Amino acid sequence: MNFKKIMLSILLPLWGLGGLSCTKEIELDLNSSNSKYVIEAELPQNQVAIVTITKTVNFSDSNNFPPIKAADVIITDNLGVTEKLTETASGVYKTQKIKGEEGKTYSLSIKTEGQTFTAKSTMPTAVKMTGLRAAVSIVRVPGSKADTYNIFPQFIDPPALGNNYRFIQTRNNETDKSLILGNDNIGNGEPNARPIFSRDFDIKLGDNVTVEMRCLDKPAYDYFFSLNSINANGPGGGTTPTNPVTNLSGGALGYFSAYTVQKLSTTVK
* H or E stretch covering 139: none
Residue 222 CA, distance from chain mean position: 10
Look at the alpha carbons of 138, 144, 147, 150 in this order and tell me if their dihedral is positive or negative. negative
User: What CA–CA distances, in Å, run from 15 to 19, 78, 157, 180?
Assistant: 7, 32, 13, 8
Identify any residues that bridge with 94 across adjacent strands, giving them in sequence order: 50, 86
pTM: 0.83
For residue 234, pLDDT over 70 is answered with no
**Where does the chain have alpha helices with state H?**
14-17, 218-231
* The pLDDT of residue 257 is above 80: yes
* CA–CA gap between residue 189 and residue 145 (Å, rounded): 38
Measured between alpha carbons, how far is 149 from 81 in angstroms, rounded to an integer? 46
Pick the CATH number of 129-216+262-267 from 3.30.450, 1.10.3470, 2.60.40, 3.40.50: 2.60.40
- C-alpha angle with apex 118: 112 to 262, nearest 5 degrees? 115
CB 196 within 8 A of CB 12: no
Rounded Cα distance, 245 and 226, in Å: 6
Q: Do domains 33-124+217-227+238-259 and 129-216+262-267 have the same CATH topology?
A: yes
Q: What is the pLDDT of residues 186-212, one digit of tens each?
A: 999 999 999 998 878 999 999 999 999
Contacts of 184 (CB under 8 A, 6+ apart): 157, 158, 161, 162, 163, 164
In the chain, the percentage of residues whose pLDDT exceeds 90 is 70
Q: Report the range of poorest mean pLDDT among 47-61, 110-124, 155-169.
A: 47-61
Helical segments of 74-231, H only: 218-231
Would you give the DSSP letter of residue 235?
G
3-state secondary structure of 237: helix
| pLDDT value at residue 33 | 53
19 pLDDT above the threshold of 80: no
63-73: average pLDDT: 91
Please give the sequence-ordered ranges of beta strands (E in DSSP) within 56-158, or none if there are none: 72-77, 82-84, 86-89, 92-99, 105-112, 115-122, 129-136, 149-155
For the chain, the domains span 33-124+217-227+238-259, 129-216+262-267
Residue 235: its pLDDT value, please?
42
Give me the CATH code for the 33-124+217-227+238-259 domain, please.
2.60.40.3780
From the number of C-beta atoms within 10 Å of its C-beta (0-12, 13-18, 19+), residue 161 rates as exposed
Strands (E), 129-198: 129-136, 149-155, 164-171, 174-175, 180-183
- Report how far residue 228's alpha carbon sits from residue 237's, in angstroms, rounded to the nearest whole number: 11
The Cα–Cα gap between 14 and 21 comes to 10
- Residue ranges of alpha helices (H) inside 118-254 are 218-231
Name the band, by pLDDT with cuts 50, 70 and 90, for residue 215: very high
